[in-house]
Amino acid sequence: MSLILLAEQTLNGLQFGVMLFLMAAGLTLIFGVMGLINLAHGSLYMVGAFAAAGMAAATGSFMLALIASLVAAAIAGVLIEMTVIRRLYDRDHLDQVLATFALILIFSEGTRWVFGSFPLFLDKPSFLSGTVTLPFNVEYSVYRLSLIVVGILVAIGLFWMIAKTRIGIRIRAGENDREMIGALGVDISRLYTMVFALGAALAGLAGALIGAIQSVQVGMGEPVLILAFVVIVIGGIGSIKGALIGAILVGLTDTLGRFLLPQAFALILEPSQATSVGSSLASMSIYILMAGILLFRPKGLLGGA
Amino acid sequence: MKLKQLALAACTALVAAGAQAEGLKVGMITTLSGGGAGLGIDVRDGFMLAIAQSGRTDIEVVIEDDQQKPDIAVQLADRMIQSEKVDVLTGIIWSNLAMAVVPSAVAQGKFYLSPNAGPSALAGERCHPLYFNVAWQNDTLHEAAGAYAASAGYKNAFILAPNYPAGTDALTGFKRLFTGNLAGEIYTKLGQTDYAGEIAQIRASGADSVYFFLPGGMGISFLKQYADSGVNLPVVGPAFSFDQGILQAVGDAALGVRNTAQWSKDLDNPVNAAFVESFQAQYGRLPSLYASQGFDTALLLISALESADVGDQDAFRKALEAADFASTRGDFAFGANHHPIQDIYVREVIKEGDIYTNKIVSLGLEDHGDVYAQNCKM
Amino acid sequence: MKKETLLNAVLIALFVGVALAAWIMDEPYLITLATKAAIFAIAGVGLNFALGFGGLVSFGHAVFFGLGGYAMGILAFHAQTYTPILEWPFAINGTRSMPVIWCVAIVVSAVVAVGIGALSLRTNGVYFIMITLAFAQMFYYFAISWPTYGGEDGLSIYVRNEFPGLNTMDPIQYFAICFTLLLLVLFFVHRAAHSSFGLMLRAARQNEERVQAVGHTPFRLYLTAFVISGAITGLAGALFADLNRFVSPTLLSWHTSGEIMIFVILGGVGRVFGPVAGAALFILLEYVLGGLSEFWQIYLGAILLGVVLFARGGLYGLIAGREVAHD
């Protein structure tokens, strides 16, 4: 096993993690500020991907497609916030789970009704295709590198927004004590709608960016949703920094696990068994990681006051 | 769930009064919703096209959606047998659903014609006189790929498939006829969408070719990421990742890939030419191999009806076994275990105008049966 | 009579009535639907014990459902192929006797629940939700990749297992078995909920410190509730696998966990008979809506949404009003 391969896998894990962060950041904000479990986040991811595919098919421009994904997801977010989510803030988590689960059904079959049952085509732009040779002779895909860059930029942007802007202050205050900021004159419902739209836009962007190298089909958001929940739980709910750390941890564990575990088992078992056992353990690895972290830090790494 | 479509509606309203022989009631359980719906829709459309074209008015088809869930498929089968009193069941796409439904359906005395799933158990020890597979036995397409890889001179292949029974069967099938070394063998997670790790391993392994079985969205993701990775090794796969419904979503990333199938739209025989043309006219899209399988299943059924009555099970079974019909693949024949003995072609993905499709480049395996026939004690 | 008790009686009558009517009209499929509703009701009652009474929102209850199913599958598989499960240190053979299978399902689920509960109860709130999900996912991926019992393809059992004195393949008789078990489970849960254990559990949910002050340990209360809850859902899993004569890893997926939660929420959290109403309503909706259109899940989602937004407390909340304390 060469160091180059290890380096490439690490980069892959990083890229996977950074993309998860886009999903998780929105989710943790929504949960942290509004106390809302949003299962429909995966559907917003799907809406972004489909909007991007549609726009790309119509205009051929990837940039326009990305903008379309942001806008479509944000609009979808605002729509469901104003009609459904708004009524759920005071309800307990169970009701939120059921309501957002119902939204998943509506979005999934609705998308299938509009776009048909076959997967859609979305491709990365030609100026981001191909590979580039990084230091130490590692050949890496340009697009994936740009994903890492985008993710880090979004992270920086979010940190700056939370720490330095007025909105950020309100968000932090809202996480702390909702009633108080209402009493102090902040328009809570506008704040909530904005936070929800922001989270939705991030999810939609993730959908478009990742849809370009994966498949754009109905239900594509669900596996990512579960992973995003794992990430925010590991990182601690409400913490963007936690979401970033959690996302990178999950990305690295999953990628390196899939790569290293079968090889580790090959040392003691015969090859086909080793692959079998190693692969199964690899698929369970992030859940084992999450359970492990929760046992020592019951509120996640950076969660809880 | 009660989506009852009468085949008669596809024909004209001019129905000849009084059918002569007794007709047939078919229960079709297939996947019409969710991510895997494309395959079920294709099978259904191909099947119903053949029924409509036959002009027969005595075949009634009840169609239900199994949502790709085994327990729903089992219940639908129960309902079709107990409530709707169908004579023949068909339609299931996925091997795991087939394993749940078929044994008990044939045990209850109903014919089952599989238009897609071909699990090895049903071709071997669990074969049954009432079970027929019109598509293929799962392994055969992979075996053809292995044979092709060997004949193309690949000596060091890297193979991967998801870690579930159809995946392990796929790689077993490939290895059966592939004569070279394996640079690597990976079982990925079912439903995995990011293959950067696996592609990195391929790059580092020194392989000269890649073989993969990743149905549906998994294959789309893998191909797109592979094409972008700079790893330029030739790729071989079974048709499941390169069928007409998926190719448009993959685009250029699939061009040039060799894939194996028992059918291609450019197969040169009159039945196929008419099928492709009429399918496109009726549904506005090119047929995939799933559609051709649905079409052939209906043709088989109709041919059996011409010579026997479904009420006489022995006679009907013999009529099915005779398979006296011209299929979209040319001549059609069953082996002793009711699975086809057929030619498997090697196709290449090309672009015709704006559409991505497949074209045959060579004959992979000729008159190929499956290895499980020897375990079938029928 | 209190409205709630009236509704309970109506539900029982409805179940029996539908099954009998279907039997008389020779519509075995409807009997199967009623049986399915009864089994889902048992699963929901199990979850409700932890969720409704204990406030433990477990998003991983499918693990018990699946364990029960696989207990049935593995035992029956070994019995029908005449191979023993274990030869050493002592021989364990398969069995096709339902009562034995149920016992095994209950015990296995309970044991696993002790393990999962002991670990998960160290967290609370949404972290508890997620860690229970995590354990369920671990079992799910394990079941998919373990080839011995079919992996993702699942295990098929040709004929239903045996119950002394009855022909279990006959739909109405199997319905009778499942429904009787449902009534037994309901009786048990009702007694438990009104016992001192049940009162302590509900008290702990409201105010843990108070309960500690009285000398009880909330952790042990929660754990006991979790174990009982898991055992009941495990029984449901074994019955479900027998109904379909098939078990697969789908029983362990988070979708299944979500569905069980839906039954509980639809019917009314914390009401003993709640999941019965919820399961019946869900099956009814699926059946009726499925016939309307290929995109019936949109309507299902809309109705569920409506129920959550406008019918707080589920069906029981709507019809029987808020829970009334009584001694």
**Domains of chain C by range and CATH?**
3-320 (1.10.3470)
Put simply, whether A130 touches B (Cβ < 8 Å) is yes
Q: What pLDDT score was predicted for residue C88? A: 62
User: Min CA distance, B370 vs chain C (Å)?
Assistant: 20
The answer to whether the CB atoms of C291 and B78 lie below 8 A apart is: no
Give per-residue pLDDT as tens, C77-102.
888 777 777 766 666 777 888 888 99
Q: Percentage of residues in chain A with pLDDT exceeding 90? A: 36
* pLDDT confidence band for A218 (50 / 70 / 90): confident
User: Region A17-31: what's the mean pLDDT?
Assistant: 91
Alpha-carbon torsion (A128, A134, A139, A140), positive or negative: negative
User: Region A240-246: what's the mean pLDDT?
Assistant: 92
Q: What pLDDT score was predicted for residue A304? A: 63
Beta bridge partners of B61: B26
Please give the interface size between A and B, counted as residue pairs whose CB atoms are below 8 Å apart: 133
Give the integer Cα–Cα distance in Å for B31 and B37. 5
Give per-residue pLDDT as tens, B95-154.
888 988 998 899 889 999 999 999 888 998 889 999 999 999 989 999 999 999 999 999
User: Min CA distance, A255 vs chain B (Å)?
Assistant: 6
The answer to whether the CB atoms of A101 and C124 lie below 8 A apart is: no
User: Region C304-308: what's the mean pLDDT?
Assistant: 87
**Residues in chain B within 8 Å Cβ distance of C151:** 164-165
Give per-residue pLDDT as tens, B242-298.
888 888 888 888 898 999 999 999 999 999 999 999 999 999 999 999 999 999 999
| A121 in a structural domain | yes
Q: What pLDDT score was predicted for residue C84? A: 75
**Residues in chain B within 8 Å Cβ distance of A279:** 163, 186-189
Put simply, whether C301 touches A (Cβ < 8 Å) is yes
> Which residue is it, tokens 């977010």?
A77
> Residues of A near C (CB-CB distance < 8 A)?
31, 37, 84, 87-88, 91, 93-95, 97-99, 101-106, 108-110, 112-113, 226, 229-230, 233, 237, 276, 279-280, 283-284, 287-288, 290-291, 294-295, 298-300, 303
For B193, B217, B247, the CA distances from B214, given in Å and listed in that order, are 10, 8, 13
| A301 in a structural domain | no
Q: What pLDDT score was predicted for residue B4? A: 46
**Is B321:B228 a contact under the CB 8 Å cutoff?**
no
pLDDT at A136 over 80: no
User: Min CA distance, B108 vs chain C (Å)?
Assistant: 11
Give per-residue pLDDT as tens, C117-152.
999 998 888 888 888 998 999 999 888 877 778 777
Give the integer Cα–Cα distance in Å for B37 and B217. 12
The answer to whether the CB atoms of C246 and B100 lie below 8 A apart is: yes
**Is B164:B190 a contact under the CB 8 Å cutoff?**
yes
| A191 in a structural domain | yes
Give the integer Cα–Cα distance in Å for B356 and B242. 10
**Is B361:B346 a contact under the CB 8 Å cutoff?**
yes
| A223 in a structural domain | no
pLDDT at A246 over 90: yes
User: Region B1-8: what's the mean pLDDT?
Assistant: 43
Q: CB neighbours of A126 closer than 8 A, spacing ≥ 6?
A: none
User: Min CA distance, B191 vs chain C (Å)?
Assistant: 11
**Is A119:A111 a contact under the CB 8 Å cutoff?**
no
* pLDDT confidence band for A45 (50 / 70 / 90): very high
Give the integer Cα–Cα distance in Å for B350 and B262. 18
**Residues in chain B within 8 Å Cβ distance of C29:** 75, 78-79, 82-83
**Is C161:C174 a contact under the CB 8 Å cutoff?**
no
Give the integer Cα–Cα distance in Å for A269 and A287. 24
**Residues in chain A within 8 Å Cβ distance of C301:** 102-106, 109
Give per-residue pLDDT as tens, C170-185.
888 899 999 999 999 9
Give the integer Cα–Cα distance in Å for A178 and A32. 11
User: Region A141-170: what's the mean pLDDT?
Assistant: 89
Domain residue limits at A168: 8-128+136-218
A interface mutation test: which of C130, C205, C260, C286 has the most A CBs within 10 A?
A: C130
The answer to whether the CB atoms of C29 and B82 lie below 8 A apart is: yes
Give per-residue pLDDT as tens, B154-193.
999 999 998 777 888 899 999 999 999 999 888 887 778 8
Q: What pLDDT score was predicted for residue A168? A: 85
Q: Which residue of C has its CA nearest to B97?
A: C153
The answer to whether the CB atoms of C291 and B65 lie below 8 A apart is: no
Give per-residue pLDDT as tens, B40-62.
999 999 999 999 999 998 999 99
User: Region C290-298: what's the mean pLDDT?
Assistant: 79
**Residues in chain B within 8 Å Cβ distance of C65:** none
**Residues in chain C within 8 Å Cβ distance of A31:** 126
B interface mutation test: which of A104, A117, A139, A283 has the most B CBs within 10 A?
A: A117
**Residues in chain A within 8 Å Cβ distance of B253:** 123
For C51, C124, C208, the CA distances from C205, given in Å and listed in that order, are 10, 12, 6
Q: A16 is written with which tokens?
A: 């996977």
Q: Which residue has the higher pLDDT, B127 or C154?
A: B127
Q: Which of C119, C141, C147 sits opposite A295 (nearest CB)?
A: C119
Give per-residue pLDDT as tens, C158-212.
777 888 888 877 888 899 999 999 999 999 999 998 898 888 888 888 888 888 8
pLDDT at C325 over 60: no
| A225 in a structural domain | no
Q: What pLDDT score was predicted for residue B53? A: 93
Give the integer Cα–Cα distance in Å for B23 and B41. 25
Q: B28 is written with which tokens?
A: 């079709």
Q: Which residue of C has its CA nearest to A236?
A: C127
For B98, B99, B335, B372, C70, the CA distances from B166, given in Å and listed in that order, are 12, 12, 22, 15, 20
| A298 in a structural domain | no
Residue C3: Cβ within 10 Å count: 12
Q: Which chains touch C (3 or more CB pairs under 8 A)?
A: A, B
Give per-residue pLDDT as tens, C44-59.
999 999 998 888 999 9
**Is A32:A162 a contact under the CB 8 Å cutoff?**
no
User: Min CA distance, B199 vs chain A (Å)?
Assistant: 10
Q: Which residue of B has its CA nearest to A125?
A: B228
CA nearest to B90, candidates B351, B231, B299: B299
Put simply, whether B336 touches A (Cβ < 8 Å) is no
Least confident of A208-212, C251-255, C268-272: C268-272
Put simply, whether B276 touches C (Cβ < 8 Å) is no
Q: Which residue of C has its CA nearest to B37?
A: C294
**Residues in chain C within 8 Å Cβ distance of B213:** none
pLDDT at B378 over 60: yes
> Residues of C near B (CB-CB distance < 8 A)?
27-29, 32, 36, 141, 144-145, 147, 150-154, 156, 158, 171, 240, 244-246, 248, 250, 286-287, 290-291, 294-297
Q: What pLDDT score was predicted for residue A171? A: 81
| A75 in a structural domain | yes
The answer to whether the CB atoms of A219 and B185 lie below 8 A apart is: no
Give per-residue pLDDT as tens, B211-243.
999 987 888 889 988 988 888 899 999 998 888
Q: Which of B33, B220, B253 sits opposite A119 (nearest CB)?
A: B220
* pLDDT confidence band for B12 (50 / 70 / 90): very low
Q: What pLDDT score was predicted for residue B337? A: 92
Q: HSE-up of B273 (CA within 13 Å, CB side)? A: 3
Q: Which residue of C has its CA nearest to A83?
A: C309
* pLDDT confidence band for C1 (50 / 70 / 90): low
C interface mutation test: which of A85, A92, A265, A290 has the most C CBs within 10 A?
A: A290
For A1, B7, B82, B193, C111, the CA distances from A260, given in Å and listed in that order, are 10, 54, 51, 18, 32
Structural domains in chain A (count) = 1
Q: What pLDDT score was predicted for residue A103? A: 93
Q: What pLDDT score was predicted for residue B108? A: 86
Put simply, whether B108 touches C (Cβ < 8 Å) is no
Give the integer Cα–Cα distance in Å for C142 and B322. 44
Q: Which of A8, A109, A124 sits opposite B200 (nearest CB)?
A: A8
**Residues in chain B within 8 Å Cβ distance of C141:** 189
Q: Which residue of B has its CA nearest to A127?
A: B228
Domains in chain B and their CATH numbers? 7-136+267-340 (3.40.50.2300), 139-261+343-375 (3.40.50.2300)
Give the integer Cα–Cα distance in Å for B26 and B45. 15
Give per-residue pLDDT as tens, C215-267.
888 899 999 999 999 999 999 999 999 998 888 898 999 889 988 998 898 88
User: Min CA distance, B131 vs chain A (Å)?
Assistant: 29
User: Min CA distance, C251 vs chain B (Å)?
Assistant: 9
**Residues in chain C within 8 Å Cβ distance of A235:** none
| A109 in a structural domain | yes
Put simply, whether B74 touches C (Cβ < 8 Å) is yes
Give the integer Cα–Cα distance in Å for B70 and B29. 11
